[in-house]
Amino acid sequence: MKKILIIYYSQTGQLKQITDSIFENFQGESIELDYYEIKPLRDFPFPWPSDEFFDTMPESVKGIPMKLFLDDFNPEKDYDLVVIAYQVWYLSLSIPVNSFLLSEKARKFLKGKNVLTILGVRNMWVYAHETMKSYLKEYGANHIGNIVLIDKTNNLVSVATIIKWLMYGKKGPYRLLPEAGVSKKDIQESSKLANPIKSALTSDNYTNLQNDLLKLNAVPVCYHVMKIEKNALRIFHKFASGILKKGQAGDKKRIFRVRFFKYYLLLAIYLLFPIASLVFMIKKALFPKTAKKDINYFQGV
Ligand SMILES: Cc1cc2nc3c(=O)[nH]c(=O)nc-3n(C[C@H](O)[C@H](O)[C@H](O)COP(=O)(O)O)c2cc1C
């Protein structure tokens, strides 16, 4: 009997749909599947009021934890495979997931465990995943695979649709815009990733798992988006430090700086992103080997 634990947090249910699609046929005579939902003591709102949405940036970027309800999480229980299904907030681990990873229980539990990570995001995730990798390494977990589902529409379109989704609760599609987030089709088709996971689990051999997942396009990395992310994260850190000087999350004294960040971000996305994209696309064409090396790195575990 093999035991799997899926640890997840999801405001919209998207990550639960993704893990359901991948693991729907796992439960049976020889596999036991458990779920653990990360529960903040005071959860974030969904849909988000605008100020609160942007006010989470400093704590996300600086990795400042929130309080969670963890009484029902038993770090002593053993599992053959642990899945961490998570999302990215402001190019960083979402606050609930980061808070879970910072807990003593998570540290104790993850030691020596085989961990598969699954992301359901818009399209900017590579540096948040570096943080995830460093937690797993520090805790002595065995990171055996990674799967990423993104919104494949154009970046400018996906920003517009995700704002509508996260602030008004409407996933769409509506009028000329496609549905927000990971498409229904991609969620359904993620079930194809079950086969390599199942055979690695049953044979207790995870050596080729990531390569097998990559053959099924499990980790899309877009070179120019990844390059922009690196620069954007540096700028987010500066904004975050400035906002945190004015107070903690929710403090009215920081609202001016939070709103300034919001307008900066929208301007950067719609004005600077297209220009920077072009620059990095040219760089990729001029230096394809370096670009491929970067892409390969982020596709690995
Ligand atoms: C505050 C906030 C910031 C986000 N920032 C990013 C980001 O930097 N990169 C990205 O790809 N997605 C980002 N997203 C989208 C999430 O990763 C996720 O896909 C979406 O919120 C779906 O929510 P769920 O996983 O909680 O159901 C952000 C979402 C929120 C709420």
Is the pLDDT at 220 greater than 90, yes or no? yes
Ligand 1 centre to CA of 121 (Å) is 6
3-state SS, 23-84, equals HCCCCCCCEEEEEEECCECCCCCCCCCHHHHHHCHHHHHHCCCCCECCCCCCCCCCCCEEEE
Instruction: Calculate what percentage of the chain has a pLDDT beyond 90.
Output: 97
Question: How distant is the alpha carbon of residue 177 from its chain centre?
Answer: 23
Distance CA 61, CA 55 (A): 11
Ligand 1, closest atom to CA 16? 27
Band the pLDDT of 296: cuts 50, 70, 90: very high
Name the band, by pLDDT with cuts 50, 70 and 90, for residue 261: very high
| Ligand 1 contacts CB of residue 120 (under 6 A) | yes
pLDDT at 175 over 90: no
Does ligand 1 come within 6 angstroms of the Cβ of 15? Answer: yes
Please, what are the domains in the chain?
2-221 (3.40.50.360), 224-299 (no CATH)
Q: Closest ligand 1 atom, CA of 90?
A: 8
Q: Ligand 1: which of 6, 39, 89 to mutate, judged by most atoms within 8 Å of the beta carbon? A: 89
Average pLDDT over residues 156-160: 94
Residues 6+ apart with CB under 8 A from 183: 151, 152
Q: What is the pLDDT of residue 260?
A: 98
2-61 pLDDT tens trace: 999 999 999 999 999 999 999 998 988 799 999 999 999 999 999 999 999 999 999 999
Per-residue pLDDT at 58: 98
CB 70 within 8 A of CB 103: yes
Q: Is 123 in the pocket of ligand 1 (CB under 6 A)?
A: yes
pLDDT in tens, 79-130: 999 999 999 999 999 999 999 999 999 999 999 999 999 999 999 999 999 9
SS3 percent helix, strand, coil of the chain, rounded to 5, is 55, 15, 35
Using an 8 Å Cβ cutoff, are 77 and 285 in contact? no
pLDDT at 217 over 80: yes
pLDDT at residue number 27: 82
Distance of CA 137 to the CA centre of its chain: 18
| Whether the CB of 125 sits within 6 Å of ligand 1 | yes
Mean pLDDT for all residues in the chain: 97
Q: What is the pLDDT of residue 127?
A: 98
Residues 218, 120 contacting (CB under 8 angstroms): no
As a whole number, mean pLDDT of residues 237-261 equals 97
The total number of residues written for the chain in this structure? 301
Q: Which helix (H) or strand (E) holds 120?
A: strand 114-120
CA atoms of 3 and 79, how far apart (whole Å): 5
Q: Is the pLDDT of residue 174 over 90?
A: no
